[in-house]
């Protein structure tokens, strides 16, 4: 149980376009999901906490208008990178917190974004 999927697994886009990444909890409902960004050979940086039915909570230094997060249902959160630029190229990972799993998060497989 506790499977989290992401789509797409990789995406290449042109500079200036927007890209949407989906994160789904497949076998549980998640009121809270998290979005991370990972640079090559570095640790995960928490970008924001996505709360179902309310606005996301962004970490300091993360641009809200750049990285739009929507948690439309208990099984789906989306991250939209708007007006993408090459410096937005990164590995984006989501995670979800199943009810009853104290402090435990389950991670999606990640999405590799390359902006040309």
Partner 1 sequence: GDSVTQMEGPVTLSEEAFLTINCTYTATGYPSLFWYVQYPGEGLQLLLKATKADDKGSNKGFEATYRKETTSFHLEKGSVQVSDSAVYFCALATGGGNKLTFGTGTQLKVEL
Query: CA separation (Å) from 26 to 30, 65, 88, 95, 111?
Result: 10, 28, 28, 12, 17
The residue among 6 and 77 lying less far from partner 1, judged by its C-beta, is: 6
List residues near partner 1 by CB under 8 A.
6, 32, 34, 41-44, 46, 49, 93, 95, 97, 102-110, 112
Query: How far is it, in rounded angstroms, from Cα 21 to Cα 32?
Result: 16
Q: Which tokens in the block code for residue 22?
A: 């989906």
CB of 31: closest distance to partner 1 in angstroms? Answer: 8
- Which CB, 48 or 115, lies closer to partner 1? 48
Q: Is the dihedral of CA 97, 103, 106, 108 positive or negative?
A: positive
Nearer to partner 1, 46 or 82 (CB): 46
- At its nearest, how many Å lie between partner 1 and the CB of residue 24? 13
């Amino acid at each position: 149980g506790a499977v989290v999927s992401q789509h797409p697994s990789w995406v290449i886009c042109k500079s200036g376009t927007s890209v949407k990444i989906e994160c789904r909890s497949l076998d549980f409902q998640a009121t809270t999901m998290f979005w991370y960004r990972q640079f090559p050979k570095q640790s995960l940086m928490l970008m924001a906490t996505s709360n179902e039915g309310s606005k996301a909570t962004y970490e300091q230094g993360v641009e809200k208008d750049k990285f739009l997060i929507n948690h439309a249902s208990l099984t789906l959160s989306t991250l939209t990178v708007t007006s993408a630029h090459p410096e937005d190229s990164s590995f984006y990972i989501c995670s979800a917190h199943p009810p009853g799993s104290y402090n435990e998060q389950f991670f999606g497989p990640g999405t590799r974004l390359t902006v040309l």
